[in-house]
Structure 1
Amino acid sequence: MLGPATAGWSDYVGTAAAEDAVATLGSPSLYELAGVDRERWTILGIDIAVDRTTEVTVYAFDRQRHNLVSVEEIERLGWESGQIPVTAFPVADAHVEAFVEDAFKRLSVRLVARPVRDQALVVED
């Protein structure tokens, strides 16, 4: 089961948000970058892990196997069964840099020290 991101001691925890890159002629789509067939799969999750190297794993739902077409049907499956089965697609090392640079228009990660993760941090002038 995929849960929150963790890293060793997880001294810092947080959130992330991303916006799909705008598809432009001649540039690869998220599916092309990950090597996932858009006609069969729907990408539902992405892990980006930085250690000594950067690793990317994409998690996708097999619409063909489960005979579902829309994201709404996949969402309903999750609510009704309590889970959504996905397959992990590791992005090849040679394509990781391009994936991270080209997959998103914007990518934001915010980490805070674990002991104060539920506190309001207010930026002062």
Structure 2
Amino acid sequence: MTEHQVLGPATAGWSDYVGTAAAEDAVATLGSPSLYELAGVDRERWTILGVDIAVDESTAVTVYAFDRTTHGVVSVEEIERLGWDSGQIPVTAFAVDDAHVEAFVEDAFKRLTVRLVSRAVRDQALVVQE
């Protein structure tokens, strides 16, 4: 029997701080690698649907991609519909080679924002005062 892992919220040891992240795709420019090239994933076959960036003693990146060829799906809308209809979207994990992690983190996104708050107050409104 194959073991399946459901991707959920990020965790880290005690998870003293929890939060959210948001990113914008980098604009592909001539001469610079795309997200797929940085991750070493074939764009003709796969659609990247998720990214993990883990910073510990070193930085590791894993991308999660859907195999359009195996499932006979072409568009992101069809992938989304598959998820709603079946209750899940099967993805494959691709670890970004250590030699390419730094370039991935620097070049994959135009903007990357991470917000962490203390777990004890995660459901409270934090208001910045001037």
Report the TM-score range of the alignment, normalised by the length of the smaller protein: over 0.9
The C-alpha deviation readout for 1:25-70, integer Å capped at 9, x for no partner, is: 0000000000000000000000000000000000000000000000
The C-alpha deviation readout for 1:74-119, integer Å capped at 9, x for no partner, is: 0000001000000000000000000000000000000000010010
Partner of 1:81: 86
Alignment of 1:54-93 (within 5 A): 54-93=59-98
Alignment of 1:27-106 (within 5 A): 27-106=32-111
- TM (normalized to structure 2)? 0.96
Alignment of 1:107-122 (within 5 A): 107-122=112-127
Give the Cα separation in 1 of the matches to 2:68 and 2:62.
19
Give the Cα separation in 2 of the matches to 1:82 and 1:3.
14
Structure 2: unaligned runs, 5 residues or longer? 1-5
Q: Structure 2 counterpart of 1:95, which letter? A: H
* 3-state SS in 2 of match to 1:60: strand
* 3-state SS in 1 of match to 2:83: helix
Post-superposition offset of 1:23 = 0.6
Post-superposition offset of 1:20 = 0.4
Runs of 4+ in 1 over 4 A off after TM superposition: none
* 3-state SS in 2 of match to 1:58: strand
* 3-state SS in 2 of match to 1:106: strand
Post-superposition offset of 1:6 = 0.2
